[in-house]
Amino acid sequence: MPRNIYISHGTTSEQNLLADIIEESIAIYGHDVFYIPRKIVKLDGVLNEDTLSNFPDAYMIEMYVESIDGFEGDGKLITKFGLEIRDQLTLICSVRRWNQLVGRFGYPEEQVKPREGDLIYFPMSKGLFEIKYVDDKKPFYQLNNLPMYRMTLELFEYNNQKLDTGITEIDDIQSYSSQGFTIVAEYDVGVTQKFARHDTLVLTFGSGINGSCEVLRTEETADPLKDKVFIGPITYDNGVFRPIAPGTVMLNETTLTSATIDSVAVLGIASDDDINRNDKVERNSTFELEGNAFIDFSEANPFGEIQLP
């Protein structure tokens, strides 16, 4: 038989009332988090994966932590690759609030809900989480609509993505997680504008090859004309990778807006701890330099066979 016409199964006023109750409950028991949409810079058309992505914006929104007993997931595991932390978190947000605070700013019109691959910064634990799954069907059409998003998140594994949200504590994750180099920059006398985070540094080597990188952060030294500059991986204009060893000096003039740098020197230290400063165990630069002594990785020998005399 047809549905009883005298019983409402969800009017606009009832749906709005439920949305108000959900939003008020989250405002009372929830937490403010930052929703960070992912922007794909380069897409692999074969595997349909992002080979390069960045996160240029962050939007504050309140969400309810459904994982009230703590982090879920596999937790901390010791594997053959080292320590892995697989913490998971479940967050709930109102559909209406997400559309108001995030959807209309961070997404194109055809995107109607949070999507997997976006990030959420959880200030309580100072953790950056990646959205793995979005469930928008619980509760299931109780009032003929879907009022909530339930998101399953996993601790984000940083892999040299660019974080430029404008929120210092979020952008610092890139500064302290990127594998880069430490260089010492000498400024001309009278220079007022020095290197700052997110600046692009162009290095000109004696061979005429240029390399560009991002300034992750700077640190003042006792000499007012010298700064310790932490830079990200260098991209060379001819596509050939060149390892930079401690003591390397680029004497060619390098310019950045109004600041002119006479010389940029890689910090001269005995070991490479400060070159790849975020991993005190690895010795990539040392292996690279020692390996070049007996293994040829040039274009003439791309597979790197040992050259016997």
> Are residues 209 and 197 in contact, defined by beta-carbon separation less than 8 angstroms?
no
- Show the beta-strand stretches assigned E in the chain: 31-36, 39-44, 49-55, 59-65, 72-79, 82-94, 119-122, 127-135, 148-155, 162-163, 181-187, 200-204, 210-220, 226-231, 235-236, 249-250, 254-256, 259-266
* pLDDT class of 300 with cuts at 50, 70, 90: low
| Domain boundaries, given as residue ranges, for the chain | 12-168, 179-291
| Distance (Å, whole) CA 73 – CA 154 | 8
Which of 23-37, 111-125, 185-199 is predicted with the least confidence, judged by mean pLDDT?
185-199
For range 146-170, the mean pLDDT: 85
Q: Is the pLDDT of residue 12 over 50?
A: yes
Contacts (Cβ under 8 Å, ≥6 apart) of 162: 54, 55, 56, 174, 214
- Domain 179-291 belongs in CATH node 3.40.50: no
- Percentage of residues of the chain with pLDDT beyond 70: 62
| Integer Cα distance of 285 and 283 in angstroms | 6
Whose tokens are 């005429």? That residue is 208
Structure pTM?
0.68
pLDDT of 270 strictly over 50: no
